[in-house]
Amino acid sequence: MRGRKLPLYFIGELTLANSEFDINKSITIKTVIAYAIICILGVNFVVGIAWFALQHVGLVDNSNNMVLVSNIMADGLGALICASRYRKAPDPAFKISINPIMIIAIAIISIAFIDFSNNIVALTGLEKIDPFYSNVEMLLTDGSPVLVFVNAVIAAPVFEELLFRGIVYRGLRSAVSFLPAALISAALWGAMHMNFVQGVAVFLMGILFAFIYEVFRNIWITIIIHAANNAVGVLTSDSIGTLISSDILVAILCAAELAITFFICRGLWKIRKDDIKGDFDRMPSEIKSFDVE
């Protein structure tokens, strides 16, 4: 029908969207990926050093708590470094204002897509074949509840969002369009967890988090969603799909959650475009350096 766009047009439009993250015109994909890898290796190195020190000093007697304390120290150091790097970059142009309806929309797509990601992992049966995920479960069950909370709900979300959305994704967006930037940053985030169960779920969530950051240009939104998701994970490992015995019904639930996420994201994207167009129209003509459709 003339004057209307097919729903799938949104995907193509988002995929080909021009960059508005002019952090550094000379930045390259290799530079951003190298920075992410160095940060990941550096954090793991700090974890190892901290664990070694705690073990020999004897301040922490439980091995799981040693790992948790080491992770908190490493994530805290990583967050400080990433925050310093993030603040040096100029704020992204065209931030849109957030109203209660948008907050509700963000909450709905976060719940729907995060549960979708967990259900996909459950359908694949990765928890049964991944030998490394048992170490994560052991930390959650045998570690100090206070340390688990600080590590999962405070330290990890702040560090990981600053690194993978604030630096990696934003850096990639200065060189490429949304889709490759989202996929690469999400893949690096998943790889950092070093197990298939979290890796697959985190990769899928990373695409959503990249989209939310793309729309709102506010790192605190993804930090809060990330922290809320981890808090739920600490309190319970169950998703809605685990309450359903039939794989077919879980697959139907996944399709419904994906559809809900798609249509709400499409609406948010349209709001963002309209908001940017309004800001652009109000700009002085001499500084309008690019076109907005």
Does any domain span residue 129? yes
Does any domain span residue 291? no
pLDDT (0 to 100) of residue 154: 94
pLDDT (0 to 100) of residue 12: 56
Does any domain span residue 290? no
- Give the integer Cα–Cα distance in Å for 204 and 114: 8
pLDDT (0 to 100) of residue 40: 76
Does any domain span residue 288? no
Per-residue pLDDT 10s for the chain (293 aa) are: 444 454 555 555 555 555 444 444 445 677 777 777 877 777 777 777 876 776 666 555 667 777 888 888 888 888 988 888 887 665 555 566 778 888 899 999 999 999 999 888 888 888 777 777 777 777 777 778 888 899 999 999 999 999 999 989 988 888 888 899 999 999 999 998 888 888 999 999 999 999 999 988 889 999 999 999 999 888 875 555 556 667 888 889 899 999 999 999 999 888 877 776 555 444 444 434 434 33
Does any domain span residue 85? yes
Does any domain span residue 293? no
168: amino acid identity, one letter? V
This prediction's pTM: 0.81
Does any domain span residue 1? no
Per DSSP, the chain holds a count of helices (H) and strands (E) of 13, 0
**Number of folded domains in the chain?**
1
Domain of residue 84, residue span: 9-283
- Whole-number Cα distances in Å, 58 to 51, 54, 283: 10, 6, 61
pLDDT (0 to 100) of residue 261: 94
Does any domain span residue 180? yes
pLDDT (0 to 100) of residue 101: 87
φ/ψ bin of 120: left (φ > 0), alpha (ψ from -120 to 50), beta (otherwise): alpha
